[in-house]
Amino acid sequence: MGVYAIKKTGQSDDKLVNEFNKRVQKARTIPRVRSSRYHKKLKTKRQVRQGAVMREKYRAENARKKFYN
């Protein structure tokens, strides 16, 4: 699905380009293309587990702080 902008009657070229740029940014096309530019190594099971443990630790800590504040 491509991003496009159609020129309306009485619309200047600059406005058309600005509208197109806005639509490209809203569609998040550029970050998606940049992220897929290089191959990223997948996380191992160990790394995934460590991340889950750290998330749980931080969530519990934040919940505790929220309770005592």
Reported as a single tens digit per residue, the pLDDT across 7-43 is 999 999 999 999 999 999 999 888 888 888 898 899 9
Q: What is the pLDDT of residue 33?
A: 87
The DSSP element (H or E) to which 65 belongs, if any, is: helix 45-68
Which of 4-8, 17-21, 43-47, 64-68 is least confident?
64-68
Spatial separation of the C-alpha atoms in residues 13 and 15, rounded to whole Å: 5
Map out the domains of the chain as residue ranges.
Answer: 1-38, 40-69
- For residue 20, give the nearest of 9, 11, 31 by alpha carbon: 11
- Provide the 10 A C-beta neighbour count for residue 26: 9
